[in-house]
Amino acid sequence: MVGGYSSNEVLVSLIKRGLSNILHILRPTKPSLAIMEGAVIFGMNPYIIMERKAKYTIGMSFRDYWKESIHSKMGKKIYNSKTGKYQCQKCFSKFITINQVLKLNDIISHSYHMIGKRKCNLKFYKTKKSNPIFTFEEGIELIGECELDAGKDYISYEEREIVVNLKFGGTFIDVNAIHLKSGKNISTKFNFT
């Protein structure tokens, strides 16, 4: 037995009676202290937990090249005159998948092409789905956003490459985005929920 309910003698006696064929039922002697002690130990030394399983799939909104078989059901086709190809907006770019094992301070990086001539707004989402396609699907929730400003009035299409890094800490995600040409970067932090 685990948690505060294991100190409820009525519940313990009902479980013992209902599971009488089990030889021994284990329960902590001070269940309410176990949670508090764990929190204190983690607070004193966050490196005591070196890995965790992701509770959600986490990703970012981006424009993907149009794939008829994937995007035609719900996506909006947008023509990119710079590349001469069609794109689909509000696609889900996955950084981690639900139940993926993350080691403390793991960094996952993805490269993107800025849509704007100078700025881009980065929006991050979470979901219980393993393989979402769009950020507007049911069950997908915005967890944070930040804006990267490259600092020039105009950046040519070829100079709009950015790298987004997500660093997974004990209870938070550090986000760092860098515009490669100018070296400008932003960083922010999102809490795990």
Query: Using one digit for the tens of pLDDT, what is the confidence trace for 40-86?
Result: 887 888 778 788 888 999 999 998 889 888 888 788 888 888 888 99
Tens of pLDDT along 2-39? 777 777 888 888 888 888 777 777 777 777 787 788 78
pLDDT level of residue 191 (50, 70, 90 thresholds) = low
pTM more than 0.85: no
pLDDT of 95 reads 93
**Domains plus CATH for the chain?**
4-47 (no CATH), 52-191 (2.60.34.10)
For residue 117, what are the CA distances in angstroms to 61, 77, 95, 137, 185?
A: 18, 20, 25, 28, 16
pLDDT of 140 reads 96
Q: Which residues pair with 126 in a beta bridge?
A: 58, 141
Nearest to 177 by CA among 128, 119, 134, 137: 119
